[in-house]
Structure 1
Amino acid sequence: MEWKLPRAVTFSCQHRNGSKLILEAKGTPVQNEQAEVEQIVFIIRNSTAQVQAEEFLRKMDKIDVVGQLAAGVAHEIRNPVTSIKGFVQLLRRDQWKSEYFDIMLAEFHQLESILREFVFLTQQRSHQFESQNLAQLLRSVTQVAQEEAPAHQMVLEIDDVEETCLWCDQSQIRQVFIHLLSNAVESMPDGGTIRIRALRSGHDQVMIQIVDKGCGMSEERLKRLGEPFYSTKEKGTGLGLMITYKIIQYHDGYIHFSSAPNQGTKVEVYLPLNRPTDTA
């Protein structure tokens, strides 16, 4: 009003379904013949997806840095771990309290698993992309999760994507959703319902949503998800989430978490339907 010039402002509000929206508004003053402002015309657009995608990319930069460190760490400790594992197997043949050796071997298997996850962070984009039916992929993942967590009920809603195909690395995308469902199960130790919903988002994108009614997370924890060594669990390396972010980056998509303490968590994974240019 004072300077009679257009001005842009960004603000947030709550959608009627409870989700948070980020809006961009540009106000342009309309003047009369006496150069007095009679009206202000606002053009408002929903920039939620853009802001979330930018936040996702910033996290990717941090993960790329730790990926360089991961390669060095994995190289340094892989050989000693392999040697120790061999000696433990030799000692086991003497039948000296074999239950202790079973525990030690299990710990070594866990260490090897962590090393594999570190190495994954340093790998380049997968070249094993192929067309996959999204509905069938989600059915198989949900079935595996249901068998491993019988106290939970997996409710799958995929009517909107029944004939939809993704151009993806099937094993990596399965790893993403198995990890996300595993997190949802662990957040509900007494069992409960987990909803998995897939629907088209525009003509070239699909959104897969996973909603649980578990313990939820604070705003501070949400801001740090996907960062190196930060986990949704009190005891964890955070590597699972880092790999999830990395895989989704490979597929030119992005992921968004929304949660509140004791109110559950909603995860939204956005993936493009078109073939990524880097894999052509």
Structure 2
Amino acid sequence: MLLIDYIENLAIFSLLVSMPLVIRSFVNLRPLKYPPLWSGLYAGAVSIVLVLLAVKQQGYVYDIRYAPVILTFAYLGPVSGIITGIFALSIRLLSSGNWFPAISGWTMIMLVFLILHTYFSRRKLPPFKRCLALSSAYTVIYLCTVVTFRILLNNPLFHLQYVCFVLLGVLIGGLLIESHERLRRTIVQRNEMELSLNASEYQYRLIAENTSDLIMVLAPDHSIRYSSPSHAIVLGYPSLAQDYAELDQIISPDDAKMFDQTVRRIVEQKTSHSMEIRFRHRLGHLIPFDSLCKPVEGKGGRVEHIVIISRDISERKQAEEFLLQSEKLTIVGELAAGVAHEIRNPLTTIKGFLHLYKSENPAIKYGDLIQDELERIEIITNELLSMAKPQAVAYCLVNVKDVIEQTLEFLLPQALLRNIEFVRKFKGDYFPVTCAQNQLKQVFLNIIKNAIEAMPCGGEIHIGLELTADGECLIAIQDHGVGIPEEHLHRLGQPFYSLKDKGTGLGLMISHKIIKQYHGSIAYQSKVDEGTRIEIRLPVHG
């Protein structure tokens, strides 16, 4: 029967200890002001309940009112502990006599607990160990009080049961508090970890979803595990499937073998590799990328994923091509200067003597042919000179329409001989551009002359002229000749590159140079056997 009473008391005590811990776990309450005071009041109320539930057996009374005193001192400090102790002493004095031993023992316990608390604070002893130390101190003080006041010395079993009852209550209460605290710390750590992971994931997602680089996670079997949203922006694909077929679709067929070999090498060697690869845009054109491939090892040291970060290097390629073009122009300029000094004078002498020789010998064979070829050499030399020699030109405001009309009038005889008609599509009468008129006329001569020569069977050449909404003058020249293969368009304007049998490529190169001086641009569109369209854009002034 006594054991059942003990279990009931301990069960109720456990419930009272756990209640505030459980409530705090489920309800997010605001922190109380003066928590030691409120905690002491609650623990004091628990002490009162424990005294009221005291076990009475054979004239002896067993209660565990000092268990909450020890726990509050250990976990909440001396303020809560003293408040709890006052409640425990008060209910003890109200419930039974023998005040002097009770007050003396209580005073000794409070003093010793205060001294031990100071010692524990300096040594930073954990709360549960404080409980054990305070329990030991309480046991010693209790036994000293029993001996001093000769309380039931003839019944040591009573004192043993009482001390064990109190210590068991302290042990159960301490374990409950520790388990709840550990659980709370685990939950807090987990929440902090989740917040940290969410923040980290947000940062990585922010980078991955807003970078212009292409980020792809690839499995060793070439299946796509992840593709960044930049694929939709840069390549035009809203999403990529999780298979090799979709990846094979975006890689240039010429680079597919090299890509497979690189992936195989990464898996075998477990090292990073970089490669230059071209991806196919959804519209069909190829874009060059510089791709860094890094292996991600999993369990057993095997490569489970390959992270591919690709950066568009189109601008870099254009810069390299521009640099190469500049180097070519420099070489051409130096060559032109040399040609001017080394060829022009002897060429003039040869032409003079040839003319003199022909006048003395009219029947000379191949004389006209030699004369034509010498004139051709002179034309090439003059083009080189015009490109290499810096010319001081005076810019003025010119109406592009007038320049085009003068050019067409000059080329009209040649067009009539080839059965070609000029079709004008002018949207307006005044197109002011600041330039050197002779230079602009040279550009139109070169381009329209090329159009005439590209139409051996005759036809129409359409010349369009209009002002764009961007404040530019758009000159469009469209022929219906033999056309130019698409793969050759990017080379137009390079020195010594020409699709004509006897062409030098210098005419278009000079035209590019002039248009560039005026901050304009030249663009080509052409299809074989359908014709070529050339668009010149110049900034409008005035």
TM-score under structure 1 normalisation?
A: 0.75
Residue of 260, 264, 272 corresponding to 2:531: 264
- 2:149 maps to none
Structure 1 residues without counterparts, runs of 5 or longer? 15-19, 23-49, 276-280
* Counterpart check, 1:194 vs 2:396: no
Residue of 449, 453, 471 corresponding to 1:204: 471
- 2:383 maps to 117
Contact 1:126–1:169 (CA under 8 A) maintained in structure 2:
no
Greater RCO, CA 8 A, separation 6+: 1
Q: Indicate the percent of aligned positions where both proteins have the same amino acid.
A: 35
Q: Spell out the pairing of 1:21-36 with structure 2 (5 A cutoff).
A: none
Q: Match of 1:267, as an amino acid?
A: I
Give SS of 1:144's match: helix
Contact 1:132–1:165 (CA under 8 A) maintained in structure 2:
yes
- 1:7 maps to 211
Contact 1:126–1:250 (CA under 8 A) maintained in structure 2:
no
Contact 2:432–2:541 (CA under 8 A) maintained in structure 1:
no
* Counterpart Cα distance in 1 of 2:354 and 2:480: 43
- 2:401 maps to 135
* Counterpart Cα distance in 2 of 1:168 and 1:271: 10
Residue of 211, 215, 223 corresponding to 2:482: 215
* Counterpart Cα distance in 2 of 1:169 and 1:69: 26
- 2:369 maps to 103
- 1:89 maps to 355
- 1:242 maps to 509
* Counterpart check, 1:79 vs 2:79: no
Q: Match of 1:133, as an amino acid?
A: N
Offset at residue 121 of structure 1 (A): 1.1
Contact 1:218–1:260 (CA under 8 A) maintained in structure 2:
yes
Rg larger in structure: 2
- Which structure dedicates a bigger proportion of its chain to strand? 1
Describe the shift of the 1:217–1:58 C-alpha distance in structure 2 as closer, same or farther (beyond 3 A). farther
Describe the shift of the 1:205–1:260 C-alpha distance in structure 2 as closer, same or farther (beyond 3 A). same
Structure 2 residues without counterparts, runs of 5 or longer? 1-201, 213-232, 236-280, 288-314
- 2:420 maps to 152
Describe the shift of the 1:83–1:143 C-alpha distance in structure 2 as closer, same or farther (beyond 3 A). closer
Offset at residue 85 of structure 1 (A): 1.7
| CA RMSD in angstroms, aligned pairs only | 2.9
Contact 1:60–1:245 (CA under 8 A) maintained in structure 2:
no
Q: Match of 2:499, as an amino acid?
A: T
Contact 2:398–2:432 (CA under 8 A) maintained in structure 1:
yes
Offset at residue 10 of structure 1 (A): 4.0
* Counterpart Cα distance in 2 of 1:13 and 1:66: 39
* Counterpart Cα distance in 2 of 1:262 and 1:112: 33
Deviating beyond 6 angstroms after TM superposition, the runs of 4 or more aligned structure 1 residues are 53-56
Q: Match of 1:231, as an amino acid?
A: S
Q: Match of 1:244, as an amino acid?
A: S
Offset at residue 101 of structure 1 (A): 2.7
Question: Once structures 1 and 2 are overlaid, which stretch shifts more, 109-118 or 74-83?
Answer: 74-83
Contact 1:141–1:178 (CA under 8 A) maintained in structure 2:
yes
- 2:332 maps to 66
Offset at residue 13 of structure 1 (A): 7.4
Give the aligned length. Answer: 240
Q: Spell out the pairing of 1:162-173 with structure 2 (5 A cutoff).
A: 162-173=429-440
Q: Match of 2:211, as an amino acid?
A: R
Offset at residue 63 of structure 1 (A): 2.5
* Counterpart Cα distance in 2 of 1:271 and 1:200: 10
Offset at residue 58 of structure 1 (A): 5.6
- 2:255 maps to none
Contact 2:337–2:389 (CA under 8 A) maintained in structure 1:
no
Offset at residue 271 of structure 1 (A): 1.2
Q: Spell out the pairing of 1:222-237 with structure 2 (5 A cutoff).
A: 222-237=489-504
Offset at residue 126 of structure 1 (A): 4.4
Question: Once structures 1 and 2 are overlaid, which stretch shifts more, 137-146 or 206-215?
Answer: 137-146
Question: Once structures 1 and 2 are overlaid, which stretch shifts more, 115-124 or 245-254?
Answer: 245-254
Contact 1:215–1:264 (CA under 8 A) maintained in structure 2:
yes
Describe the shift of the 1:213–1:65 C-alpha distance in structure 2 as closer, same or farther (beyond 3 A). same
